[in-house]
């Protein structure tokens, strides 16, 4: 090559003072001429930062949509990534929850149209809704259902923090879905929302029992006890809504924080790799 970029042209190029036609012709020369490339000054810091951005783009796995949404609402990146790695059973559970709620809402409307008594119509919804978050805990965790179980058992996030974090995520989903279904129900909104405190107490109870028994066993025991309590109302006290009465609600309100305290005290035993 006999012609090279004159020094003043290189200088104007480096400072961005050329029009786009000139830039293109300079760059087509630079692409072929190592001598002139070496003459173009560059900033070390700028070059290092550019490389970092490129490496970051190439190396970074595309975050899942759920993780992107969680990041946007302010969840720390490592927590968002962890929560987005939801096992398939948990996704199945989400579909099941939506189906159960849709069925409960439809059934309540159907029953309320036939008899004007909405309280009666709401009982199936009220009985099932508090158990949905709990059922998610049984399905989403443990050696046999969770494909990331081995992964979490070997990480610093393993154990009770991972379990509680996921339980919290599952609970938020179920509460949000049940909450969205509640205004669709016939009757007074106060009664339709009566499932909230029992749901909280049952979830805390499931986690507390999980410190001693396998999650599916804990959840099965609680589900039987809960249905027993709902059925006991009409049988023992001649009150169909005894399990949702103000007295019962106060009981759940006291039980939930007590159970949370118990979970905290026994948190070491929530470790899925630890002793049961």
- List interacting residues with Zn ion (CB under 5 A): 4, 33, 35-36
DSSP 64: P
Question: Which of 273, 48, 239 shows the shortest CA–CA distance to 141?
Answer: 273
Q: 36 or 111: whose CB is closer to Zn ion? A: 36
Nearest distance from C-beta of residue 12 to Zn ion, angstroms? 16
Q: 35 or 250: whose CB is closer to Zn ion? A: 35
Phi, psi (degrees; rounded to nearest 5) at 117: -80, 100
Nearest distance from C-beta of residue 24 to Zn ion, angstroms? 15
Q: Which two tokens stand for residue 162?
A: 């991972």
Distances (CA, A) of 24 to 13, 46, 53, 96: 10, 21, 24, 59
Q: 25 or 50: whose CB is closer to Zn ion? A: 25
Nearest distance from C-beta of residue 39 to Zn ion, angstroms? 8
Phi, psi (degrees; rounded to nearest 5) at 219: -70, -40
Which residue in the block uniquely carries the two structure tokens 């009981």?
A: 251
Q: 36 or 105: whose CB is closer to Zn ion? A: 36
Q: 39 or 119: whose CB is closer to Zn ion? A: 39
Which residue in the block uniquely carries the two structure tokens 């410190």?
A: 211
Distances (CA, A) of 170 to 163, 173, 258: 10, 5, 21
Q: 7 or 247: whose CB is closer to Zn ion? A: 7
Distances (CA, A) of 145 to 90, 135, 181: 9, 13, 28
Nearest distance from C-beta of residue 33 to Zn ion, angstroms? 3
Nearest distance from C-beta of residue 65 to Zn ion, angstroms? 49
Q: Who contacts 270 (Cβ-Cβ below 8 Å, separation ≥6)?
A: 159, 160, 163, 164, 207, 210, 211, 263
Nearest distance from C-beta of residue 85 to Zn ion, angstroms? 52
Q: 24 or 265: whose CB is closer to Zn ion? A: 24
**How many other C-beta atoms are found inside a 10 Å radius of the C-beta of residue 149?**
18
Nearest distance from C-beta of residue 32 to Zn ion, angstroms? 8
């Amino acid at each position: 090559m006999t012609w090279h970029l004159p020094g003043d042209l290189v200088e104007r190029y480096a400072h961005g003072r050329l029009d786009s036609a000139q830039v293109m012709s300079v760059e087509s020369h630079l692409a072929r001429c190592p001598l002139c490339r070496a003459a173009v000054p560059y900033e070390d810091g700028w070059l290092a930062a550019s490389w970092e951005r490129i490496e970051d783009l190439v190396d970074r796995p595309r975050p899942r949509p759920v993780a992107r949404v969680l990041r946007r609402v302010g969840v720390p990146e490592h927590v968002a990534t962890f929560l987005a790695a939801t096992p398939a059973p948990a996704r199945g559970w989400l579909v099941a929850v939506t189906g159960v709620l849709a069925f409960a809402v439809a059934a309540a409307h159907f029953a309320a149209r036939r008899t004007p008594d909405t309280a009666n119509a709401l009982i199936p919804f009220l009985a099932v809704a508090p158990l949905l978050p709990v059922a998610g805990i049984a399905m989403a965790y443990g050696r046999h259902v969770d494909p990331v179980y081995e992964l979490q058992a070997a990480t610093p996030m393993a154990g009770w923090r991972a379990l509680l974090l996921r339980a919290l995520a599952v609970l938020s989903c179920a509460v949000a879905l049940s909450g969205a279904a509640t205004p669709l129900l016939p009757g007074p909104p106060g009664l339709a929302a009566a499932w909230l405190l029992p749901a909280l107490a049952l979830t805390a109870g499931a986690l507390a029992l999980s410190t001693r028994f396998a999650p599916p066993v804990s959840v099965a025991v609680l589900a039987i006890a809960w249905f027993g309590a709902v059925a006991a109302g009409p049988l023992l006290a001649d009150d169909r809504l005894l399990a949702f009465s103000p007295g019962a609600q106060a009981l759940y309100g006291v039980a939930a924080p007590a159970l949370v305290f118990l979970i905290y005290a026994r948190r070491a035993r929530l470790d899925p790799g630890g002793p049961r």
